[in-house]
Structure 1
Amino acid sequence: MNSEQNKSNQSALYTLISVFFFWGFIGASNGVFIPFCKAKFGLDQFQSQLIDFAFYGAYYIGALLLFIISSGIKRDILNSWGFKKGI
């Protein structure tokens, strides 16, 4: 393996690490964001838990929409994009 290819792989790896770090940071920030919203907007416990439900429910809705669209066109969209573009 030459050093030029190694450099390009390292930059892709660092980009992927950064994306997953910020993704985890945003997910962990819900623990701080929900009590802030609860105090600022006067939410009760049920309403504040709806914030968390909406955050994680968006992943489910997105995956469900991708499944429905893929089933409708009879083609796997992520396979046509490929692994690198899918991330």
Structure 2
Amino acid sequence: MAGQPSMPYSSSKTALNAITAHYAWELAGTAVKVNGAAPGHVATDFNGFRGRRTPEEGAEVAIRLATLDADGPTGQVFEDETRLAW
């Protein structure tokens, strides 16, 4: 993890992961896939552009998840091709 832990940031990330799992469960059996995309440490205003990844690199996981086929995963969180445990 880059930088120091932040209670508001960590709490909001946990809540986002939980709601991702909840919506995936609610929409099971439909064509809708609900996943989380972790872009990694992207250089943005939020971190003073100290991130190691470009916005384009960070966006790749979201684009991949947005274009999943019917057999794709749901209720998971991914960074690139890696499924993250939370």
TM tier, smaller: 0.3 to 0.5
Query: Radius of gyration: which is bigger?
Result: 1
Query: Which has the higher relative contact order, 1 or 2, with Cα contacts under 8 A spaced 6 or more apart?
Result: 2
Hey, which of these two has a bigger chunk of strand by percent?
Answer: 2
Hey, which of these two has a bigger chunk of helix by percent?
Answer: 1
Q: TM-score, normalised by structure 2?
A: 0.33
